[in-house]
């Protein structure tokens, strides 16, 4: 299945949802008639699983080298990006050559960022191997790394030349990572498409069984939601910020808990917090809040945390660094109703603490 993406400021590109790697070679070779070299960027786990599926497809047409990083969020570091730049320079990469990322959102964010810097930008392609990267991280051209404990604070906008999604890679994805991807899918339904949200509820069992046709349909709708928003607002001057539903408190908790929650799990917690605040500000009903919260449970996503109340200040201080804030105030994406979100300014500290209290599960509860 091909989903074409248009872009105001750069060439458009296509997203391919496929069963396996068999359709990759022809599409890739056609895109880069003048390239001589390809640098594969991947992480150790993904590369050991899929090196033999990808490298042989490229060897006849390109000189292939690889740069393999450690799996996990800690690799989203500017020094890793600089090592890639050094490697490209030492390997003699020119403007016509290509970076090919294979992996999840971490590899996607790093590959795009590295490609945007080298010689002021060389082409990059991404093969997504996690549900989260397929539905969200690989799409829309936002790239970046974490810096001084703050998520995604350094980065760039650069569109890929193609995104390829071989669904068979989901067979090797650990269960926890599979469900983490669902958090971003649910987010897309919540912020833009109530019908899709209902569809997710109706197809819960097929999704959990990883039925490939259901997954392909789910990805198509979820990708189209993100694509429509990004096409209208590629550089996040307006509605693209809505895609950050769940990411304000989510990112603050992700960095506070430092590795305890994977990204998608932190987004689920952030969505619950955002839905709670939406209820408290009379934007959605209590019933809607509890329904949203409980929807994450069958997908093995967390809806509660355990933390010392004395640390709320620490989480709040991380939240103050969020990119959506302005003039020292906390701005947050909230739900207007199921299927519609809005950016709300000046969320009070008391409200943030109340949301943390709602999430915080203590023995007395
Ligand atoms: N740029 C964006 O628009 C955007 C959007 C959402 C998320 N993100 C970023 O994405 C990152 C999270 O991405 P993620 O959840 O994909 O995590 P990830 O890239 O860390 O991958 C998760 C784990 O799964 C392993 N893995 C990947 N594919 C596999 C496969 N097919 N089989 C077996 N193991 C596999 C990886 O080695 C890793 O250990 C975060 O850093 C987040 O900030 C970016």
Nearest in space to 151 (alpha carbons), one of 92, 76, 85, 56: 76
Structure tokens at 95: 């403007």
How many angstroms separate the CA atoms of 149 and 250, rounded?
A: 14
Q: Is the pLDDT of residue 96 over 70?
A: yes
* Predicted confidence band of residue 323 (pLDDT cuts 50, 70, 90): confident
Mutate to test the pocket of ligand 1, among 132, 134, 176 (most ligand atoms within 8 A of CB): 132
Q: Is the CB of 141 under 6 A from ligand 1?
A: no
Minimal-distance CA residue to ligand 1 atom 16? 104
Name the strand (E) or helix (H) holding 150.
strand 150-157
Q: Distance from the CA of 151 to the center of ligand 1, in angstroms? A: 14
Mutate to test the pocket of ligand 1, among 68, 101, 104 (most ligand atoms within 8 A of CB): 104
Q: DSSP of 122-143, one letter per residue?
A: -EEEEEE-SHHIIIIITSSSEE
Q: Judge whether 110 and 80 are in contact, CB under 8 Å.
A: yes
In tens, the pLDDT along 24-38 reads 999 999 999 999 999
pLDDT at 233: 85
Percent over 70 (pLDDT), the chain: 98
In tens, the pLDDT along 262-276 reads 999 999 999 999 999
- Cα–Cα distances (Å) from 227 to 114, 119, 157, 184, 344, in that order, read 23, 28, 15, 14, 23
Tell me the average pLDDT across 77-82: 98
Which residue intervals of 171-246 are DSSP H helices? 175-192, 194-202, 204-208, 212-232
Tell me the average pLDDT across 306-328: 88
How many angstroms separate the CA atoms of 344 and 181, rounded?
A: 26
CB atoms within 10 A of CB 141: 21
pLDDT at 118: 98
pTM (global) more than 0.85: yes
Residue with tokens 């959102």: 105
In tens, the pLDDT along 163-185 reads 999 999 999 999 999 999 999 99
Domains of the chain and any CATH numbers: 2-171 (3.40.50.1970), 175-359 (1.20.1090.10)
* Predicted confidence band of residue 7 (pLDDT cuts 50, 70, 90): confident
Q: Is the CB of 97 under 6 A from ligand 1?
A: no
Instruction: Give the range among 19-33, 126-140, 218-232, 322-336 with minimum mean pLDDT.
Output: 322-336
Nearest in space to 177 (alpha carbons), one of 214, 131, 219: 131
How many angstroms separate the CA atoms of 20 and 28, rounded?
A: 14
Q: What is the mean pLDDT of the chain?
A: 94
Task: Collapse the DSSP code of 186 into the 3-class scheme (helix H, G, I; strand E, B; otherwise coil) and give the result.
Answer: helix
Nearest in space to 318 (alpha carbons), one of 263, 259, 253, 270: 253
In tens, the pLDDT along 141-170 reads 999 999 988 888 999 999 999 999 999 999
- Looking from the CA of 263 toward its CB, the CA atoms found within 13 Å total 21
Nearest in space to 124 (alpha carbons), one of 220, 45, 44, 28: 28
Q: Is the CB of 104 under 6 A from ligand 1?
A: yes
């Amino acid at each position: 299945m091909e989903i074409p993406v248009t872009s105001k400021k750069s060439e458009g590109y296509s997203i391919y949802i496929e069963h396996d790697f068999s359709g990759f070679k022809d599409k890739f070779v056609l895109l880069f008639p003048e390239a001589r070299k390809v640098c594969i960027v991947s992480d150790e786990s993904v590369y050991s699983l899929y090196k033999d599926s990808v490298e042989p497809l490229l060897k006849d047409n390109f000189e292939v080298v690889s740069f393999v990083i450690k799996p996990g969020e800690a690799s989203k570091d500017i020094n890793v990006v600089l090592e890639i730049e050094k490697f490209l320079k030492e390997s003699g990469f020119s403007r016509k050559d290509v970076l090919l990322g294979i992996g999840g959102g971490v590899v996607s964010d790093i590959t795009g960022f590295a490609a945007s810097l080298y010689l002021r930008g060389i082409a990059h392609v991404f093969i997504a191997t996690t549900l989260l990267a397929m539905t969200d991280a690989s799409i829309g051209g936002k790239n970046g790394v974490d810096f001084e404990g703050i998520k995604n604070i350094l980065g760039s906008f650069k569109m890929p030349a193609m995104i390829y999604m071989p669904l068979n890679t989901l067979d090797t994805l650990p269960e926890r990572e599979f469900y983490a991807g669902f958090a971003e899918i649910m987010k897309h339904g919540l912020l833009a498409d109530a019908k899709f949200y209902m569809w997710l509820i109706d197809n819960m069992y097929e999704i959990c069984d990883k039925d490939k046709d259901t997954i392909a349909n789910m990805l198509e709708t979820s990708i189209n939601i993100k694509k429509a928003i990004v096409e209208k607002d590629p550089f996040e001057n307006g509605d693209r910020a809505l895609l950050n539903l769940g990411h304000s408190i989510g990112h603050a908790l992700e960095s506070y808990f430092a590795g305890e929650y994977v990204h998608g799990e932190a987004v689920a917690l952030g969505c619950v917090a955002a839905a709670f605040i939406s209820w408290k500000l009379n934007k959605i009903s209590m019933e809607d809040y509890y329904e949203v919260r409980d929807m994450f449970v069958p997908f093995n996503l967390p809806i509660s945390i355990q933390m010392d109340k004395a640390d709320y200040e620490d989480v709040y201080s991380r939240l103050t660094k969020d990119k959506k804030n302005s003039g020292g105030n906390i701005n947050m994406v909230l739900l207007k109703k199921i299927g519609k979100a809005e950016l709300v300014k000046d969320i009070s500290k008391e409200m943030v603490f109340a949301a943390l209290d709602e999430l915080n599960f203590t023995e007395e509860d």
